[in-house]
């Protein structure tokens, strides 16, 4: 049995209730840790569920910044230094990852506060998260203002990637379950996944098949 919510019913929800409700409607999301460093050498780590793919040629990834702190340290570091890392979250670190969303004073690194380990490698300017199985380094490319709700979209190009060897498939697909990557829903719900199927490229009048 479905429950119907009119526009008025949605608008009449308490603010925090609407935040949970609308955020959930978007479906399952990627959830990852963004690692940055400022020009004084202080690291920052923040959890984001607004990272999304926008294209593979060039290799671009985007994310949304809300108008309020604490994410703004991440944004400032990206704009100041031009580089950031994106690190998938797994079951061993999701609580520490969630804890990075607390509003720490700006002189405290969330790496120190949560115990997650910064990992610098290959001369990439921003820190990776050592405990993360899927890590990639990104260079800032473009900032787009979304004026309708005062949010900012940041687009970056993927510059280098680290993935577990056993999750790489012959066609380039990454088996994220083998990397223990989690997904999230709403503001605060973390989930493992169970693969149902990979499906072949769809064509009219041709039955799709499973890719094994």
User: What letter would DSSP give residue 166?
Assistant: G
Select the span of 37-45, 72-80, 131-139 touching a second copy (CB under 8 A): 131-139
Output the CA torsion 59→65→70→76 (10° steps): 60
**DSSP strand pairing (128-129 vs 59-65):** unpaired
Specify the residue, 82 or 186, whose C-beta has the smaller distance to a second copy. Answer: 186
Cβ 76 to a second copy, closest distance in Å? Answer: 19
**DSSP strand pairing (118-119 vs 128-129):** antiparallel
Specify the residue, 39 or 74, whose C-beta has the smaller distance to a second copy. Answer: 74
Specify the residue, 37 or 89, whose C-beta has the smaller distance to a second copy. Answer: 89
Select the span of 38-46, 73-81, 127-135 touching a second copy (CB under 8 A): 127-135
CA–CA dist 105, 102 (Å, integer): 9
Give the distance, in angstroms, between the CA of residue 12 and the centroid of all CA atoms in the same chain: 30
User: What letter would DSSP give residue 95?
Assistant: H
Site for a second copy in 15-34 (CB under 8 A): 15-32
Environment class of residue 136 by beta-carbon count within 10 Å: exposed (0-12), middle (13-18) or buried (19+)? buried
Select the span of 3-11, 38-46, 73-81 touching a second copy (CB under 8 A): 3-11
Answer for which of 33, 93, 176, 180 binds a second copy (CB under 8 A) is: 176
Specify the residue, 39 or 145, whose C-beta has the smaller distance to a second copy. Answer: 145
Site for a second copy in 52-91 (CB under 8 A): 52-61, 64, 66, 86, 88, 91
Answer for which of 69, 79, 112, 144 binds a second copy (CB under 8 A) is: 144
Cβ 180 to a second copy, closest distance in Å? Answer: 11
* Residue 154 near residue 136, CB atoms below 8 Å: no
């Amino acid at each position: 049995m479905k429950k119907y919510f009119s526009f008025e019913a949605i608008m009449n929800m308490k603010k925090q209730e609407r935040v949970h409700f609308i955020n959930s409607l978007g479906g399952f999301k990627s959830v990852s840790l963004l690692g940055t460093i400022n020009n004084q050498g202080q690291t920052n780590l923040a959890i984001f569920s607004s990272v999304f793919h926008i294209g593979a040629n060039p290799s671009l990834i985007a994310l949304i910044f809300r108008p309020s702190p604490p994410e703004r340290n991440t944004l400032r570091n990206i704009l100041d230094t031009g580089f950031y890392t994106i690190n998938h979250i797994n079951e061993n670190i999701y609580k520490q990852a969630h804890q990075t969303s607390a509003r720490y004073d700006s002189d405290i690194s969330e790496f120190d506060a949560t115990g997650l380990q910064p990992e610098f490698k290959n001369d990439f300017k921003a820190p990776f998260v050592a405990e993360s199985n899927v890590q990639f380094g990104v260079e800032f490319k473009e900032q787009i203002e979304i004026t309708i709700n005062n949010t900012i979209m940041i687009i970056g190009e993927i510059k280098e990637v680290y993935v577990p060897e056993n999750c790489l498939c012959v066609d380039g697909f990454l088996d994220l379950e083998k990397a223990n990557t989690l997904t999230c829903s709403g503001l605060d719900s973390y989930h493992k996944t169970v693969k149902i199927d990979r499906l072949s490229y769809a064509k009219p009048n041709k039955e799709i098949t499973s890719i094994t």
